[in-house]
């Protein structure tokens, strides 16, 4: 399944609006914010249709996953948007992540837990808010709720003392070369799950974290906890490969079209995350050229003055626009 879908779920009491763009969407929030109400309304509609008093507007079928037979249920659901409520123990298990990876469905998960086995994007973690507007002398019978990006922090322009890069491969090798020129210490965390530890061990330094935003969602909450204790900013492009594709080094109208609306090209059953898609795309587009890409070791041609400058310009534009991704 691929594409971006607008979902409106409503009855005579409440209305929810949500846009899903990827295979995994996370809804966070405390109790009584409406998460369970949304999932329950989808469940009612799945069971009883219009007779439930609920109406769902979406191009794709929306359904709910519940119960101990969740594995057989996932296998039987095709090309749909599947909602899950918090409190389901299996959503934090590796077996559930494997089932999501093999599925051609999109999943909307309401949870207060951090799901470390699922590679969800920092862009696809949402909170819920009431947007009902009440005018003088007017009484509303329906509550209107909408979703907002929970991690919508803007990139701060600073010169850090240390740059912590998530990987130890091509991305780290490139950022290490940039940092060396600027006299900045660059450290590889050797994986997303180690970034928290590396930040904690840093002293009173200004830290910039560089990681793949397409899969960094599970780590975001705990690393943001450092905001009050340490000076930390985050640069979270979709992936290093995405940065290269944005830099203009790779010619072709097809690449630019994909970058404008990736959700129309990324099959959820084939690519567990957008990071994997952009890696495959870059390898495909550079095969047999002087820029042939390998994730495990950076092609030294990317460190040539022209190529390094082009990628650096893509980074600069993101930072100047106040974007973390």
The reply to whether 140 and 257 lie within a common domain is no
Q: What is the mean pLDDT of the chain?
A: 91
The answer to whether 99 and 74 are in contact (CB under 8 A) is yes
Is 107 in the same domain as 184?
no
Amino acid 137: pLDDT: 52
Average of per-residue pLDDT across 15-40: 90
269: containing domain: 162-320
Contacts of 103 (CB under 8 A, 6+ apart): 23, 74, 77, 268, 269
Contacts of residues 228-231 at CB distance under 8 Å and 24 or more positions apart, as own/partner, are 230/199, 230/202, 230/204, 231/204, 231/205, 231/206, 231/207
Using the predicted structure, report yes or no on whether residue 272 has a pLDDT greater than 50: yes
Specify the pLDDT at position 93.
94
**How many helices (H) and strands (E) are present in the chain, helices listed first?**
10, 13
The rounded distance, in Å, linking the Cα atoms of 62 and 58 is 8
- Pick from 149, 170, 193: which residue ends a domain? 149
Domain identity same for 297 and 260: yes
Per-residue pLDDT, 130: 81
> How many Cα atoms within 13 Å fall on the side-chain side of residue 182?
15
Res 140: pLDDT: 55
Task: Please tell me the total count of domains within the chain.
Answer: 2
Do the domain assignments include residue 155? no
Contact partners, residue 210, CB within 8 Å, separation at least 6: 163, 164, 165, 166, 171, 175, 235, 236
For residue 268, being part of any structural domain is answered with: yes
Q: Could you tell me if 187 and 125 lie in one domain?
A: no
CATH number of the domain where residue 139 is located: 3.40.50
Please check whether residues 198 and 69 belong to one and the same domain.
no
SS3 130: strand
Q: Which residue, of 149, 181, 210, is where some domain finishes?
A: 149
Q: Mark whether 168 and 132 lie in a shared domain.
A: no
Same domain? 221 vs 132: no
Same domain, 124 and 191: no
Question: For residue 138, what pLDDT is reported?
Answer: 53
Is pLDDT at 176 greater than 80 in this prediction?
Answer: yes
Confidence of residue 325 (pLDDT cuts 50, 70, 90): very low
Comparing 169 with 323, which gets the higher pLDDT?
169
Q: How far is CA 8 from the centre of its chain?
A: 21
- Do residues 175 and 308 share a domain? yes
Contacts of 121 (CB under 8 A, 6+ apart): 22, 24, 213, 214, 215, 216, 217, 238, 273, 274
| Least confident piece of the model among 93-102, 130-139, 222-231, 304-313 | 130-139
Residue 9 lies in a domain: yes
Instruction: Please give the Cα distance from 104 to 74 (Å, whole number).
Output: 10
Would you mind telling me the total number of residues written for the chain in this entry? Answer: 325
DSSP state, 51?
G
* 186 in the same domain as 132: no
For the cut 60, the answer to whether the pLDDT of residue 313 exceeds it is yes
Q: How is residue 2 written in tokens? A: 């691929």
> What's the confidence (pLDDT) of residue 252?
81
Q: Is residue 44 part of a domain?
A: yes
Q: Distance (Å, rounded) from C-alpha 114 to C-alpha 150?
A: 14
Same-domain status, 141 and 275: no
- Lowest-confidence pick of 8-17, 214-223, 312-321: 312-321
Q: Tens of pLDDT along 134-157?
A: 555 555 567 888 899 999 766 667
Q: Of the residues 97, 115, 149, which one is the last residue of a structural domain?
A: 149
Q: What pLDDT digit, counting tens, does each position of 35-74 carry?
A: 999 999 999 999 999 999 999 999 999 999 988 899 999 9
Residue 325 belongs to a domain:
no
């Amino acid at each position: 399944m691929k594409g971006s879908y607008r979902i409106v779920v409503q009855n005579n009491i409440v209305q929810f609006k949500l846009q899903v763009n990827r295979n995994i969407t996370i809804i966070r929030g405390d109790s009584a914010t409406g998460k369970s109400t949304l999932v329950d309304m989808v469940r009612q509609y799945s069971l009883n249709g219009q007779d439930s008093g609920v109406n769902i507007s979406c191009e794709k079928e929306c359904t709910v996953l519940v119960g101990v037979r969740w594995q057989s249920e996932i296998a039987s659901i095709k090309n749909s948007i599947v909602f899950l409520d918090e409190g389901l123990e299996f959503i934090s298990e590796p077996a559930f992540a494997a089932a999501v990876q093999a599925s051609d469905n999109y999943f909307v998960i309401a949870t207060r837990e951090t799901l470390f086995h699922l590679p969800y994007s920092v862009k696809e973690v949402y909170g819920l808010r009431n947007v009902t507007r009440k005018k003088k002398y007017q009484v509303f019978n329906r509550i209107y709720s909408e979703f907002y990006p929970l991690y919508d922090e803007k990139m701060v322009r600073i010169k850090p003392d240390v740059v912590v890069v998530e990987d130890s491969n091509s991305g780290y090798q490139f950022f290490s070369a940039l940092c060396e020129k600027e006299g900045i210490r660059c450290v590889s965390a050797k994986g997303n799950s180690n970034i928290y530890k590396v930040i904690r061990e840093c002293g009173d330094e200004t830290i910039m974290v560089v990681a793949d935003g397409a899969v960094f969602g599970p780590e975001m909450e705990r690393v943001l906890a450092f905001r009050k204790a340490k000076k930390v900013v985050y640069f979270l492009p979709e992936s290093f490969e995405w940065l290269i594709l944005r830099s203009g080094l790779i010619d072709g109208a097809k690449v630019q079209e994909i970058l404008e609306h990736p959700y129309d090209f990324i099959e959820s059953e084939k690519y567990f995350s957008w990071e994997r898609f952009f890696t495959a795309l870059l390898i495909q587009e550079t095969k047999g050229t002087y820029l042939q890409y390998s994730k495990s070791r950076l092609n030294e041609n990317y460190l040539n003055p022209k190529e390094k400058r082009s990628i650096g310009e893509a980074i600069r534009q993101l930072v100047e626009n106040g974007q973390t991704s």
